[in-house]
Chains A and B, each alone.
Chain A
């Protein structure tokens, strides 16, 4: 176990600093690739157990990510017993994530749950009494991870990955069937046909990888618009959600935009909440920005929280907005249920019969938890997505996708070099397995089952 691992060692989104920890033989090398130290200190002169000031920059573009303090601890005098580098950056999701992703791109592998502790144990840095705790840790983290994986399974990413894996499996089965049953009259696949189909899959992976690279959902969050006429409680809903989540990642005041945006993180799902309140200096939002503009904002939204006032009858303005929801992903929120209820819900369902309607009272803090749970479930069930590949939030997924991408590029190279099909299959299988790491599917009889399901084979 000499490979180098990296992980985020501080809880996401909380605290003033964030720590990315790298452990293993190449820990310092990985850090060197992405770190520029002040005063041009060279990495080769760095002593163990010293702290250095500098910043992290993307090596290719030179784009600065964050200021950092770098700690270097040479093994065995470190937590894991291996060479360890800790990068201390500003707290919050974006810098920590970005730095972590850079370490993965530049030589480290994502740490398994509990792997730092495991290494510490294996290298004799933790005594035997603590071993049981390590076991519990692995079990607990993995189960949490697999639960998350399960919910994601139903999501869009997994559908996509499964589609690609199926296409790969089909190619592998065709190639393998022809290899293992050369005397059967089964349809063969040429390496040129393989290259063509691999090209298509490669484009899909590239798209996923590039959206993950820009960290679309991590940086921008799910574009969530809170809509509604004045005084229905949009701002207080926004503030309530912010307070509830207690995980303000950053705030970008709407200086350049017409709206106020806030980042919140609900159970790991980052939302970019857009309150149309920012443009609502005048009394009537619909009048102010016009139906067309409303339409435009709503069209852009990944998710709309449409707020109505329970204490008032449905107004013309409400109707206009509800109608504008059309087939957009939206939740209708009936606020102020603490007041006498005047609103006729039937009138709402008549306009938007398929939308989920939730009642809550921001003032009384009633229904907020349900709303949060529902928002999270929307994402996990793939009903709401932040555009193409938005669910690539997981560095392990990204790592697997990049591995698959590399293998498929090798397939194209191999075919180009006129190598025979047995060489091509090596990389096809590697790509198929890498994608399987995302969906948690294991290797094994699948290929053989596929061969027998597809071809009539037998002497």
Chain B
């Protein structure tokens, strides 16, 4: 055994969760080690090199607002950027970028390497060392032991990873990497339950073998925006994506070969995600659909590899080539890497606290796909929170828990640890109850203060943010207090603005609420408009236009918070509470909710159980006060 060093925090895995965890810990002042199976695969995007989209884009903005890296890294390395859902309301605007896969990795690696207090090492971790229910270190396959107070496990799809292409299968991680074969055992020994999930990716094809003339161009936005609140607005050259469709011939090829699919032969045991079905799954489940969309997307500036979105598959390689060649534009296609499915172990997330720390092993945090999620953004969000909370633990500070009413990150983690998941979990805007409050445009207003308080947000970012916040408040007040009357001059302005006239006095804020009036228009026609940034102007406009709906959601949040604020002591013995149903007793004992609100979200816990719990808790606190 080789005593290789002592650290405050050790992060296992350098994917999207691991990178955020390690950076957060080091930036919060912890002496941090990032252990990875391969230094050449840091921040790898083994599936589509795309970041963002509905809810996922929200997560990236939140990561950025708290001082994480994903937003900045994507802005630096993007090859295309689009704002989706622009017609569906501000709460669901969704930024989506295509990244240069290699550039993304290279830049992230360089950020890690240059981060003070952070060491990055290549190793295969075999064991998590635990004493008296507390993490004490890790051990690598070469016998090196690293001591630590906190471990963040961000093992992605590498735990007992198994790759399946048709009838061929082998143990391994994505892209021909080694799998972590011993760590699962170490976790089980620590009393942690694991489940087996599955995910997959489509083939990569050679750009030079594609006939783009048969496809529809999908260009990026002409006025690009950024994920990070810090990135400068700049127009950079972009690459286009392409759209084509499957047809009945494609589906015929698939149907004829279904018997060779590992999903049907039973080779695949793990549970796959519903939102990311393989093409064979789609053909079987929706037989009435005669065609499916296929997006052909570039993977970077310096590669001819292209991603075939919508065609994820684990059918044998010859079938993949055959069905791809039925698709317009892909008749002559050359496959550079076949699509595959991968099975892996992950932690049952209901074993975690809201801080992402294991309930059973103090100091052990888990994050990302290792917790049963899917997606780079979901992983990065958990990695960031695990890194933050591991650091706070080491520093003897209270954990940072984001509520469902504060952030998508809060929704994500609460869903995972309260309800668990029986398929790889993907974030969606429909999972958030208070969507109108949790917009991607106001992530900084929601979270940067918190990031600053825990020491992750830099002084520079904080000052920039404070100034913006002040400008917004001042401008909203001004618009509410500026009243215009029905004078000839005003009426002329309104008419050239293209909106109806007024009969009596009206504030500019009320005028802005009209569907046909924008802040920008007002600033052209009315005097004394201050010079404010487009981002601040956007906040002013949304705050005023949607005030009624925002208020409605704030009231919902107030009701919600009453239950969230009723804390449950972690040592509570549910078996002793008379009147609770058996099912509720079991579920509550296993999840150990932190608040009554969280308890109420556990399936199998009824409103009556919650009432009983409430009474019991009052009794409990009363007893403590009197003794």
Contact = CB atoms under 8 A, between A and B. Distances in A.
A451 interface: yes
Interface stretch (B150-158, B178-186, B425-433): B425-433
Interface in A125-143: 128, 131-132, 134-136, 138-139, 142-143
A183 B579 contact: no
Contacts of B608: 138-139, 142-143
Contact of A426 (B53, B277, B295, B552): B552
Please classify how large the interface on chain B is, using the bins under 10, 10 to 19, 20 to 34, 35 or more.
35 or more
Contacts of A419: 89, 515, 546, 549
A448 interface: yes
Interface in A363-419: 414, 417-419
Contacts of A421: 88-89, 92
B264 interface: no
Nearest to A424: B89
A138 B285 contact: no
Main secondary structure of the interface of A (DSSP, over half): helix
Contacts of A112: 607, 611
A457 interface: yes
B622 A182 contact: no
Interface in B283-313: 285-286, 289, 292-293, 295, 309-310, 312
Contact of A134 (B88, B276, B310, B615): B615
A418 B553 CA distance: 19
B515 A180 contact: no
B274 interface: yes
B142 interface: no
A378 B579 CA distance: 33
A25 to B, nearest CB: 14
Interface stretch (A71-79, A114-122, A296-304): A114-122
Interface in A1-30: 1
Contacts of A136: 579
A118 B615 contact: yes
A452 interface: yes
Nearest to B292: A456
Contacts of B606: 142
Interface in B303-325: 309-310, 312
Nearest to B93: A422
Interface in A431-459: 442, 444, 447-448, 451-452, 456-459
Interface centre among A139, A179, A414, A447 (most CB of B within 10 A): A179
Nearest to B601: A444
B309 A138 contact: no
Nearest to B85: A182
Contact of A444 (B286, B428, B435, B603): B603
A453 B463 CA distance: 48
Contact of B435 (A135, A422, A451, A459): A422
A382 B602 CA distance: 33
A126 to B, nearest CB: 10
A342 B229 CA distance: 93
A423 interface: yes
Given A135-B578, A180-B429, A458-B310, A426 B436 contact: yes
B612 interface: yes
B587 interface: no
Nearest to A417: B515
A345 B186 CA distance: 77
A258 to B, nearest CB: 49
B167 to A, nearest CB: 24
Contacts of A422: 88-92, 435-436
Interface in B73-95: 84-85, 87-92, 94
A422 B440 CA distance: 13
Contacts of A172: 430
A183 B295 contact: yes
Contacts of B117: none
Contact of B286 (A1, A420, A456): A456
Nearest to B611: A138
Contacts of B618: 121-122
A178 B611 CA distance: 38
B518 to A, nearest CB: 13
B88 A420 contact: yes
Interface in B589-627: 603, 606-608, 611-612, 614-616, 618-619, 622-623
Given A128-B623, A448-B428, A458-B275, A135 B87 contact: no
B274 A452 contact: yes
A176 interface: yes
Nearest to B606: A142
Contact of A457 (B275, B429, B549): B275
Given A138-B612, A452-B274, A458-B277, A182 B94 contact: yes
A452 B430 contact: no
B552 A182 contact: no
A180 B53 CA distance: 8
B428 to A, nearest CB: 4
Contact of B282 (A138, A442, A444, A456): A456
A184 interface: yes
Contacts of A442: 603
B242 to A, nearest CB: 13
A208 B431 CA distance: 31
Nearest to A188: B88
Contacts of A181: 54, 275
Contacts of B388: none
B546 A458 contact: no
B612 A139 contact: yes
Interface in B562-583: 562, 578-579
B391 interface: no
Interface centre among A128, A136, A422 (most CB of B within 10 A): A422
B615 A131 contact: yes
B48 interface: yes
A182 B57 CA distance: 13
B434 to A, nearest CB: 9
Contacts of B275: 181, 452, 457-458
Contacts of B293: 183-185
Contacts of A414: 549
Interface in B229-288: 274-277, 281-282, 285-286
Interface string B426-453: 0011110001100000000000000000
Contacts of B342: none
Contacts of A456: 277, 282, 285-286, 289, 292
Contacts of B312: 458-459
B615 A121 contact: yes
Nearest to A454: B286
A423 B612 contact: no
Contacts of A121: 615, 618
B424 to A, nearest CB: 12
Contacts of A124: 622
B55 interface: yes
Contacts of A185: 293
Contact of B546 (A132, A178, A182, A423): A423
Contacts of A176: 428-430
Interface in B464-497: none
A182 B84 contact: yes
What are the 10 closest A-B residue pairs judged by CB atoms, nearest first? Answer: A420-B89, A422-B89, A142-B608, A176-B430, A418-B515, A456-B286, A135-B579, A422-B91, A458-B277, A182-B84
Given A420-B87, A420-B89, A458-B277, 19 more contacts: A114-B611, A135-B578, A138-B579, A138-B615, A142-B611, A176-B430, A179-B88, A184-B293, A414-B549, A419-B546, A421-B88, A423-B436, A426-B552, A444-B603, A452-B274, A456-B285, A456-B289, A457-B274, A459-B310
5 contacts: A118-B615, A124-B622, A182-B94, A426-B553, A457-B274
Interface of B: 48, 53-55, 84-85, 87-92, 94, 274-277, 281-282, 285-286, 289, 292-293, 295, 309-310, 312, 419, 428-431, 435-436, 515, 546, 549, 552-553, 562, 578-579, 603, 606-608, 611-612, 614-616, 618-619, 622-623
